Structure 1
Amino acid sequence: MSRSQRLFDLLQLLRCHKYPVTGDYLARELDVSVRTIYRDIATLQAQGAEIDGEAGLGYVLKPGFTLPPLMFTPDELEVLRLGAEWIARQADSEFSTSAQHAIAKIAAVLPPSHTWQPDDEIMRVGPLPAMTDLPLDMAQLRAAIRHQAKINLNYRDGQGSLSQRCVWPLLIGVFQQCYVLVAWCETREDFRHFRLDRIARFAPQAERYPHPRKILLRQWRQSAGIPAAKLGY
Structure 2
Amino acid sequence: MRKASRLFEIIQILRLAKRPVTGADIAGQLEVTVRSVYRDIAALQAMRVPIEGERGIGYILRPGFDLPPLMFSIEEMEAIVLSLALLERTGDAELKQAAKRVTAKIAGAVPPPLRQTLDANALHAWGFAAPSASAIDLALVRRAIRDEEKLELAYRDELGRATERIIRPIALIYYAEAANIVAWCELRQAIRNFRSDRIEDCQPTGLWFKGEGDGLRQIWVNGWQTNASTANA
- Give TM-score scaled by structure 1 length: 0.61
- Cα shift at 1:113: 1.5
Amino acid at match of 2:77: L
Instruction: Give the aligned partner of residue 15 of structure 1.
Output: none
The yes-or-no answer on 1:80 pairing with 2:80 is: yes
CA contact (8 A) 1:165 1:187 kept: yes
User: Residues 73, 225 of structure 1: CA spacing in aligned structure 2 closer, same or farther, 3 A cutoff?
Assistant: farther
Aligned counterparts of 1:215 and 1:79: Cα–Cα separation in 2? 32
1:161–1:193 distance in 2 versus 1, CA, 3 Å: same
| Cα distance in 1, alignment partners of residues 219 and 130 from structure 2 | 33
- Structure 2: tracts of 5 or more residues without a match: 1-66, 227-233
Q: Which has the higher helix share?
A: 2
Distance 2:118 2:218 in 1: 40
The alpha carbon displacement at 1:210 in A equals: 5.4
- What secondary structure sits across from 1:225 in the alignment? helix
CA distance in 1, matches of 2:207, 2:121: 50
Alignment of 1:41-60 (within 5 A): none
Match of 1:205 in 2: 205
Q: Could you tell me whether the CA contact under 8 Å between 1:88 and 1:100 is conserved in 2?
A: no
Alignment match, 1:172: 172
Q: Tell me how far 1:156 sits from its aligned partner.
A: 0.6
1:126 and 2:92 matched:
no
Moved more, 173-182 or 87-96: 87-96
Mapped pair 1:111 → 2:140? no
Unaligned runs of 5+ in 1: 1-65, 227-233
What SS does the corresponding residue of 2:170 show, helix, strand or coil? strand
Q: Which residue of 1 aligns with 2:37?
A: none
The two structures, once aligned, show a CA RMSD in angstroms of 2.3
Deviations 1:172-205 (A, max 9, x none): 1111110110101112211111001101122211
Q: 1:165 is paired with a residue of what secondary structure? A: strand
Count of paired positions = 159
What do the CA deviations read for 1:41-89 (whole angstroms, capped 9, x no partner)? xxxxxxxxxxxxxxxxxxxxxxxxx9741x2121111111111111134
User: What is the percentage of aligned positions where both structures have the same residue?
Assistant: 29
Give 3-state SS (helix, strand or coil) of 1:192's partner: strand
What TM-score comes out, normalization by structure 2 length?
A: 0.61
